Structure 1
C-alpha cells in the first residue's frame, strides 16, 4: 500500500510512501528535511555530486499535489541546506515551481539548517515561523524532543531502520510514531539517514519504493 491511515491526537492522518504526512481535514501536507540546494552546497565545496536533486524534490511535491487535495504545505525545518543553497539556479527552479502553484499556502517551521542558510527568498511567498508552531492539536516542530501539551510532529533525525535477514541487511527510511510525538523521514532526494533506537511506545512504518508498511519491533 502507498499510505497508512492512523489517528494522532484525535485527527486522522495518512503516512505516505512518498515520505510525507497528509492531514485530510486541514488539507495539509507535511514534509521534513527537504534540504533544497544540498547538492549545490557540496559542489560549491568541490565535491562532485549529481545534479538535479532540486528538480527531483519539486517533482516529488508535484506528484503529491496531483494525488491529494492539498491547500497548504508545511515544511518541518531544513528547507535550505546552507547559504550556498541560495544559488541563482536553485532559486530560479523553485520560483518557476512556485508560480505554477501560486494558490498554495506554504509555511516553514525553521530548522537548524535554516538558521545557517538564512530565510528563503521572499519571492517564494513562504510564511516563516519558529518551533513549536501550534496547529490544531499539533505542535509542528523541526526537533522532535520539544515537550509540551500538544502532540509533536517533527523531523530533523532522518530516521531509518535496518532490516536484517541472516547476513543480508537493508536500511529503509521510516516514520516513528510514539505516544507524544511523530518523526517523519527526510523528504529530500539527497539526504542521509540515522538509525534510530525506538522507544517502548514507538511504532515504525517503513518506506520501500512506493510502499509503506508497519513493522513489529518487539
Structure 2
C-alpha cells in the first residue's frame, strides 16, 4: 500500500508531507525524518521490560518504502536516530547493516539529538555523517530541538507531536506535523515511540494529522 502525500508551500518552497511520517524536498532530493529511535525495544528488554521484537524492522521497512517512492539523494535524520546505548545490540546493528547495504549510495546525515549523545556514534561502516544543529540545507535549518534560526525555516523533531481528534464518544490520537510561522515539527518516525499532545484550537499553527495512509489538514494558519 502506498501512503498519500500532501505538498504544501513553506515560504515559497515546496515540501511534501508523507503519511509515512516524513517530509521530502523535491528540489533538493532530500528526505527529512525525525526521531527514529532505533533499538528502543532492545533497550526495554535489556532493562528487564519484556516488549515484543520487531519495531526496528518495521521502521526500516517504512524507510525502504519512502526511498522507493521519492528516490532521494540524501536522508537527513532530525535527531534521535538511536534510542540509547543498548541500541547497539547485535540484532539492531545487523538489521541496520543489511538496510545500509541496500542503500549504500544514499547520503545519510544525522543532526545530533539528545538521545544520540547518550547512545554513542554508529561505527564508520554505517557511513552516517554527523552534524550539529542548525544544519543549513537550502531554505531549511535542520534541527533536533525546535528553535528559531535567522534567515531560514526550521524543520525539527524532538516533540513527537500528536493531536487528539474527537467525534461524539470516539477519541483518537494521531501523529501530526505542526508548522508555525518559522518552525515546523515533524512527527516521530519510529514504530515504538510515544507522543506529546498539541491542541489545534489553542494555537495558530498549521496542523496536518497522519490518519492511516492519509495526511489530513486539521487547521490552517
TM-score normalised by structure 2 residue count: 0.94
SS in 1 for 2:158: coil
- In structure 2, the partner of 1:44 is 46
Structure 1: distance between partners of 2:137 and 2:60 = 25
The aligned runs of 1:19-58 (5 Å cut-off) are 19-58=21-60
* 8 Å Cα contact 2:205/2:219 also seen in 1: no
Does residue 158 of structure 2 align to residue 156 of structure 1?
yes
CA RMSD after TM alignment: 1.5
Shift of the alpha carbon at 1:52?
1.0
Does residue 195 of structure 2 align to residue 206 of structure 1?
no
Return 5+ residue gaps in structure 1 as ranges: none
Does residue 109 of structure 2 align to residue 107 of structure 1?
yes
- In structure 1, the partner of 2:179 is 177
* 8 Å Cα contact 1:179/1:202 also seen in 2: yes
| Equivalent residue pairs, number | 218
* 8 Å Cα contact 1:9/1:138 also seen in 2: no
Shift of the alpha carbon at 1:26?
0.7
- In structure 2, the partner of 1:69 is 71
Per-residue displacement from partner, 1:171-196 (whole Å, max 9, x unpaired)?
A: 00000011101100000000011102
Per-residue displacement from partner, 1:136-190 (whole Å, max 9, x unpaired)?
A: 1110000012443311000100000000112221100000011101100000000
Return 5+ residue gaps in structure 2 as ranges: none
The aligned runs of 1:108-123 (5 Å cut-off) are 108-123=110-125
Structure 2: distance between partners of 1:214 and 1:123 = 40
